[in-house]
A and B are shown apart, each in its own frame.
Chain A
Amino acid sequence: MRARNYIVGAAFALLAGGMAHSALAQDIKIGEINSYSLLPAFTEPYRKGWQLAVEEINAAGGINGKKLVVISKDDGGKPADAQTAANELVSSEGVAMLTGTFLSNIGLAVSDFANQKKVFFLAAEPLTDAVTWSKGNKYTFRLRPSNYMQAAMLVEAAAKLPAKRWATIAPNYEYGQSAVAVFKKLMSEKRPDIQWVDEQWPPQGKIDAGPVVQAVAAANPEAILNVTFGADLVKLVREGNTRGLFKGREVVSFLTGEPEYLDPLKDETPEGWIVTGYPWYSIKTPEHDAFLKAYQAKYNDYPRLGSIVGYQTIKAAAAILAKAGSTDPEKLITAAEGLSMPSPFGEITFRKIDHQSTLGAFVGKTALKDGKGVMVDSSYKKGSDYLPSDAEVEKLRPKD
C-alpha cells in the first residue's frame, strides 16, 4: 500500500511548491499573514485598509518605479500554520519582507521565524510587549502601540479618578494577563493608596458572564478595569447592564472604543467608560481626512481601526523599502531604524532602540448617540510620550 502513498505525497508536495508565480520578477513583493478566517471582524477592514494602501502606492509610481505586490495568506489563528505560510512566502514567493499578524503568539512565532531565517518582519497588530522587548530581535519591527503604551495612556486618565477599590476582568491568556499586570503596576506607582479587591479571568471567547458579573459586584469595587473584547465584551456588557454592575462605578477599558468592538453594542453601549479606541467621526486633521475620504470613496463604508492598521502597515513597509532602495534585510533594518513617515494619525517614527513605532491611540469616553455607541471627549495620545526611558528599555530587550 505504501507505494501509492509516497507517490501521492510527492505529487502533492510538487504541486504545492510549484504554485503561483504570477507576479513579475521586477515587482517588489511583500508577504502578508493574518488570521483572516478566525477573526474576520477585524481582518476584513484590515484587508481593505492595506488594499487601499497598495492602490495608492502603485498609482503614485510604485516603490522607486517598481510595482508593489502584496501576497496575503491566512494563518487560521494557529502559530504553526503562520510559520508554514511565512515559509511559503519567503522560500517560494521570494518576498522582500513579511508583515501582518494579529494574535500575540502568532506575532512571536513569525518574529522568531524572521530572526532565524534573517527576514525583515513588520508586525502590524500583536500587542504583547514581548515582541519588541523581552523576545525582541533585530529583524522585527512593530506598528501598533503595545500593551504597555495603551496601559500607560489609560492609567494617566484612571489615576485622576477618586476610586480606591479596583477590580479587574480580563481574558485568561497572555494579552489579558499582561494588560492587567502593566496597568496594576503603573497605577500602583501613581496611586499607592489603591486596593485591588477582585480579579476575574474568564477564558477567552467563553465567558460565563452572569457569574462573573455577580462575583465582581460582590467585591464591591469603586472602579473596574476591563480587558475583554469581541463577543465576550458583548456578554459582559449585557449582563452588567441588567444587573446594574456599572451603576455608580467607574470603568476603564482596553480597546472598547474601537469601532470593531463598540459598534456591535448598539443601544446597549455603557456610557462614561474611559477607553482607548478610534473615533473616526470626530478626527479633524488633514491627514485623517484624506484617508477617510479615500477609504469611503473606495468601499462605501466607514473605516475601523483594523483599516488604519492595515493601511499604515503597507504604507510603512513601502516607505522602508523606498528608503533602503534594496530588498536586502540588513539594509531594510538600517533604513527602518529611526525612519519617520506620515500616517492618518500624524507623523510616526520607528524607534532605533526597540523597533517600536510611535503610532499612538485615542483615549476618550463612551457615550450613546442616536442609539449607537460613540467615543466623546477623545484626544490623541502620541506613542512616544508613553514609553519607558531608554535605560529601562535597554534592560528589557536582549542584546542582538
Chain B
Amino acid sequence: MAFYVVQFLTGLASAASLFLVASGLSIIFGVTRIVNFAHGAFYMIGAYIAFTLTERLSGAFGFWGSIVLAAIAVALIGVLVEMVLLRRIYHAPELFQLLATFGLTLMVEDLVVLIWGPDDLVGRRAPGFRGAIDFFGQNIPSYDLFLIVLSPVVLGILWLLFQRTRWGVLVRAATQDRDMVAALGVNQKWLFTSVFAVGVFLAALGGALQIPRDAVHHAMDLRIIVEVFVVVVIGGLGSIVGAFVAAVLVSELNAFGILIFPKISIILVFLVMAVVLIVRPWGLFGKPEAPARKTPGLTVNPWRPLTSNERLMALAALVVAATLPLFAGNYALTVGSEIAIFVIFAVSLHFLMSVGGLASFGHAAYFGLGAYGVAFLAKMAGLPMIVCLLLGPLLGCMGAAVFGFFAVQLSGVYFAMLTLAFAQIVWSIAFQWVSVTGGDNGILGVWPERWAASPSHFYWLALGVAALVTVALRAMVFSPFGYALRATRDSLLRTEAIGINAKRIQWTAFVIAGTTAGIGGALFAYLKGSVFPDNLGISLSVDALVMVLLGGVETVSGAVIGAIVYKALNIWLVSQTDLSKLVLGGFIVLIVVVFPKGIVGMLEMLAQRRRKASPPGSPLLAKPIESAE
C-alpha cells in the first residue's frame, strides 16, 4: 500500500514540473493566440542560466536566489523577443508566429552549445532538500515534496492574479475576445508583452527548478515542448486549472501505467490526448472558440487561376527544370529529386491548410505511411516498382480516411493537436512493432528498379509526379469542390446554411491531402532506399508546416516556393556549416520580419502595388483590399 502512495506522490512531483511550463504556454496562447514553439527553448535557457548562477553563488540564498534570478533574466529575454520580433507579426496570418518561434528555437539550440559547451551539465542539489523522507519503508525525495507543494501554490497565485487584479481581468477578457478588449481602449501592446513575460517566466522557472533532478543539455527543449503542448490542449487552451489537472492526469497515468506496460511512456500522452479530444473537443476545461470575426474576402487577395501567359511561363519553367540532367552532376540531381518530393509533400499540406483552413501538425504520418506502404509491398510481397508506387500511397489514403474522420470534427488548434496525436500513434506503432516494421532500424534495401535507378531518370520521375500533383491540386482549388472547401474555411455557418455538408467536404480534402502526401512518401522511400520511423516523425511534420508558411499560407502556390527554398537551403547549410541550425533559424526569423506574408505572399503584394501604381486599373476594387489590411 505504501508503495502505491509513494508512486502517486512521485507522479505528482513529475506533474509539478510539467504544470509550471504548461501554465505559461497556456496563458500566452490564451491571450495572444501565439503557438509559442520557443517555449521549450525558454525552459532550456532558464535551466542553463540557473546552472551558471548556482555554480557561482553559494549558500541557500544563493541557490534559491539564482533560480528566481534566472527566471527573471529569461523573462526579460522574452520581453525583448516579444517587442522586437513578435509585435511585428501579430497581424500576419494565423500560425505565422509559429514559424518565428520555430526559427528562434533552432537558433537557441546551437547557441547554448556555443556558450555552455557540448557536455551534459549536472547542477547542485537544492540546499535543505538533498535527502529523502522515509514513508513506511519507501523513500520520497524531499525535493519531490517541495515540488508537490509548489505547484498548487503557483496555481493559487496565478488564480489570485487572474481573479483579483485589474491586469488579470484584462487578460481573461482578452482570452475570451481580444478584439472587444481592444475596442474598449485597452493598450493591447503592453498587455501582450506582459502576458508573454509572465508565460516565459513560468517556463524558465520550470527549467531552473529541474537543476537538482536533471542534467542540463541542448536537447532539453525538444524533450518537453511537445509534451507541454499536449498537456495544455488536454486541459483546454487558456485554462490554468485545466493545465494543472491535465499535468496530474498524464503524470499519474504514466507512473502507474509503467507498472503494467513498461513500454507505455513513449505514447501515453498522445493516447490520452486523442481520447480526450474525441470525447471533449475543447479539452477538459476549455470552452468552444468564438467564431472568428474576419472577412476573408477583404484581407486576402482573391484567388484566381493562372492566365494563359502565366501558364506558358510555368510550362517553360518546368521544361527548364527538366533539362537539369544535361548539365548537373549526380548529387545535384539527387538533391533535385528530394526537393521535388518535398514540393509534393508541402503542396499536399498546403491544400489542407490554405484551401481547407485545416492546419495539420501531423501531416508526416501520411507521408510516412506512403513510404511504409511501398516498403511492405516491395520487401514482403516483392511487387515491381511501378505497382508499389501506385499502391503504396493507398496506405496513406487509408490512414487519412480513418484519422481524418475524427480530426475534422474539431477545428483550429484542437484539430492540429489531434492530427499530431494520430501521427505520434502511427509513429510509435512503426517504432515498436519491430517484427513487422523493423523498429527504429527501419526497412532497408527498397531501391528503385533499373529503369529508374540512375539519378537523372529518378529526377525526371520525381519532377514529373511533382508537376502532375501540383497541377491536379491547383485544378481542384478552382473546381466546385475547391470553392466548397474554401467556403467551409471562410465561414462554416454560412456554408452549412446553404446546404453544403461541410464535414464531408473537409474529410474528403483530408483524404486527398493524405493520399498526395503518401505519393511523396512512396517516392521518398525509393530515393533513400530505406524507410525509418523518422519518416512519420514530428520534425518532418514541422518541416512541412514551415515550408507552407515560408511560401505564404494565403497564396495558391506558395508551398512550391516554400518547399524549394527551405529544403535547398537546409541541405546546403547542413553540408556547409556546423552551425546550420543557427543560420537556418536566423534566416527564418529574418524572412518572418521582412516577408510577413511569406515569400510568395510578399511578391504578390509587390506585384499588385506596381499594377496599382501604373495605369488606374480598377481603383474601386483595390481600395477596400488595402484598407482592410
Assess whether B3 is in contact with A211, with CB atoms less than 8 Å apart: no
Assess whether B576 is in contact with A19, with CB atoms less than 8 Å apart: yes
Which of these, A15, A17, A177, A264, contacts B215 with CB under 8 Å? A264
Minimal Cβ-Cβ distance residue in A for B558: A1
Interfacial chain A residues near B313, Cβ < 8 Å: 2-3
Instruction: Report the minimum CB–CB distance from A84 to chain B (whole Å).
Output: 6
Interfacial chain A residues near B121, Cβ < 8 Å: 264
Assess whether A79 is in contact with B529, with CB atoms less than 8 Å apart: no
For the complex, give the distance between the alpha carbons of A18 and B338 in Å: 17
For the complex, give the distance between the alpha carbons of A135 and B432 in Å: 19
Residue B554, interface by CB 8 Å: no
For the complex, give the distance between the alpha carbons of A215 and B580 in Å: 41
Number of residue pairs spanning A and B whose beta carbons lie under 8 angstroms apart: 278
Minimal Cβ-Cβ distance residue in B for A113: B529
Contacts A7-B317, A214-B7 known; A242 to B139 CB distance under 8 Å?
yes
Assess whether A201 is in contact with B265, with CB atoms less than 8 Å apart: yes
Which of these, B213, B321, B581, contacts A235 with CB under 8 Å? B213
For the complex, give the distance between the alpha carbons of A266 and B255 in Å: 28
Please indicate which of the listed interface residues B262, B318, B330, B557 has the most CB atoms of chain A within 10 Å of its own CB: B262
Interface residues on A, range: 35 or more
Which of these, B141, B259, B556, contacts A242 with CB under 8 Å? B141
Which of these, A14, A76, A112, contacts B529 with CB under 8 Å? A112
Which of these, B13, B317, B580, contacts A210 with CB under 8 Å? B13
Please indicate which of the listed interface residues A5, A83, A85, A266 has the most CB atoms of chain B within 10 Å of its own CB: A5
For the complex, give the distance between the alpha carbons of A35 and B587 in Å: 22
Assess whether B317 is in contact with A4, with CB atoms less than 8 Å apart: yes
For the complex, give the distance between the alpha carbons of A202 and B254 in Å: 10
Interfacial chain A residues near B574, Cβ < 8 Å: 73-74, 76, 81, 85
How does the 8 Å CB contact mask read for A25-43 relative to B, with 1 for contact and 0 for none?
0000000000011101101
Interface residues on B, range: 35 or more
Minimal Cβ-Cβ distance residue in A for B309: A3
For the complex, give the distance between the alpha carbons of A80 and B367 in Å: 14
Residue A51, interface by CB 8 Å: no
Assess whether B568 is in contact with A9, with CB atoms less than 8 Å apart: yes
Interfacial chain A residues near B381, Cβ < 8 Å: none
For the complex, give the distance between the alpha carbons of A199 and B215 in Å: 24
Interfacial chain B residues near A130, Cβ < 8 Å: 441
How does the 8 Å CB contact mask read for B137-160 relative to A, with 1 for contact and 0 for none?
011110110000000000000000
For the complex, give the distance between the alpha carbons of A17 and B3 in Å: 62
Assess whether A5 is in contact with B561, with CB atoms less than 8 Å apart: yes
Of B67-75, B83-91, B394-402, B530-538, the one contacting chain A is B530-538
Residue A263, interface by CB 8 Å: yes
How does the 8 Å CB contact mask read for B149-193 relative to A, with 1 for contact and 0 for none?
000000000000000000000000000000000000000000000
Assess whether B332 is in contact with A17, with CB atoms less than 8 Å apart: yes
For the complex, give the distance between the alpha carbons of A230 and B529 in Å: 31
For the complex, give the distance between the alpha carbons of A128 and B440 in Å: 11
Assess whether A173 is in contact with B139, with CB atoms less than 8 Å apart: no
Instruction: Report the minimum CB–CB distance from B124 to chain A (whole Å).
Output: 10
Which of these, B139, B259, B335, B530, contacts A16 with CB under 8 Å? B335
Interfacial chain A residues near B118, Cβ < 8 Å: 40-41, 43-44
Residue B475, interface by CB 8 Å: no
Assess whether A1 is in contact with B441, with CB atoms less than 8 Å apart: no
Given contacts A116-B447, A201-B266, A230-B215, 5 further A-B contacts (CB under 8 A): A37-B110, A79-B442, A83-B529, A215-B7, A217-B138
- Nearest 4 CB-CB pairs, A to B? A17-B332, A40-B118, A12-B568, A6-B317
